Structure 1
Amino acid sequence: MTPGAPVVFCGYANLDVVGRVPRFPAPDERVHATAIDQLPGGMGANAAVAAARAGARAAFAGVVGSDLPSDLFLAQLDAEGVDTAWTDRSGYLSTAIVLVDGDGRRSVVSQDDALGAAHVARVADRLAGAGGGVLYLDGYRAAQLPAAVRPGVVLAVDLDGCEDTGVARAALAAADHVVVGRTRLTGLLGLSTADRGPRTTLVVTDGAAGWELAGPDGAASGPALPVDVVDDTGAGDCFVGTHLAGLAAGLPPVAAATRAGVAASLSCTREGARAAPAPDQVTAALDQLARTA
């Protein structure tokens, strides 16, 4: 991959309705929120913002509508330096209901969007025609991976949201880079790092326990940064966006994952799904870790 290659995020855009509650409600129970906010979100859009903040040439290639909420959503991405010219505006801006409890944990109910295989193929064609780069698909689009195979296009999949073991296994075999949470990989999907393809670099994230990488050049692992968690919403998106930005800049996968792990940890110290830190904050935290190791 040529350093400085674009990273195009083909995935969810959401309007997040975020309720901050002391604890998650039980069935038939009412819990009063301490705050309710409407914030921009969505896996693909959040990861694009994280990549842009990490210095990547990031583009968002999701599907939204032609209405005012979609205008505002894209304007917020533009303000972050994300190229929104790849976005299809023939659909609608979906909504996600997010509850964040007193310990910073989240629970999400999301609405499906209008992003299908035909759009994925068009984005892949455009990226290949522009000289190639990294194409990200979220876990809801993992089944559409074959539609994205093009010369010069590096395929990256975030399996968060994927619930089909067969689809996940195919993505692990065919994608260049895969990121997935350990609970989803081993618990929900019943898979392991041994299920990756021979050319696939797999990064398994595990919250406060850090991350594990398995790839063609071997295995590695890294810790998370110890932090006081305020809100872990979007931490996984921050990891993926920062990791892909590192790869696009020419970093080896382990170095990219190391920076991504620290960035994701720092994002948990702030509220909201787009709390990715600036590169100098990540570098300072890495320096501090090195001094205390």
Structure 2
Amino acid sequence: MRIATFNVNGIRAAQRRGFEDWLGDRGPDVVALQEVRARAAAIPPGVFGDYHLTYDEGDVAGRNGVAVLTRRAPVAVRTWSGTALMRAPGEMHTESAELGPEPLARGLGEFANQGRYVEVDLAEAPITVASMYLPKGGLPAHLQKPGRMREAPDGGARYDRKMRFLSAFARQLTRSRRTARARGRELLLMGDLNIAHTRSDVRNWRRSNQAEGFLPEEREWFDSILSPRTLVDVVRRHHPDADGPYSWWSWLGQSFVNDIGWRIDYHLATPQLARAAVTAGTDRDPAADRRMSDHAPVVVDYDF
């Protein structure tokens, strides 16, 4: 079973840059998408081919939006908002599904309607698949230096929001993993986590020690959600000693050409599923002028 995660940075832009060709050529069975950035009615017809779409678009137009594409309709769907948008292959219209209240960990309520998490139970295999878009965050107040930042100083507000999210999401993730196990399913969390976990996940890690996405407290949080008995970083398991493979490069300068990237897109799987992975890597675009997004798809083949 081929499973991919891809932050498309806007599905309409990604379509213009070749998303449909990639989807047809690679033929994944399941795709987790982040930053779809479109109201359901504005998603280009046919862009998802013969896949069933499950989508949480969020409440802010043009921002966020997470989806899962599957060959068969999911057995069950869960979102933090309690609603999801569903579209069958060949359909022009997207149906809204009321899912009922899903228990949320303390602190997640403020993020529930932002289009950051959708979870489906696959019909093809006993796997629960989740697509996640974690807030980018910012720097804590003491590291903010006016004139040396691309964004205006905010007193640490974006940093504080991300840390609140991480704390709440860790509790929710434990709940999701245990619930999947109780249902006889493995859990696969995929998506853009906006954190590079180790030095091997950032090309210029020395310069990045005080950059959002590589702060010590963010990396410590990442440590806390991984273990041989809970969740395993599937790509790192297959590339234990490699730098990368990176999944994000800035649009600026020669970052992509020189492979000055970050690995911030992940497959995090429960141990049995992680052991079933036979190949794992990144579909890096062949040239800078042929990039579909500032991210690249992360693709894993599971013999499960």
Give the TM-score taking structure 2 as reference length.
Answer: 0.40
If each structure's helix is expressed as a fraction of its own residues, which one has the higher value?
A: 1
Give the TM-score taking structure 1 as reference length.
Answer: 0.41
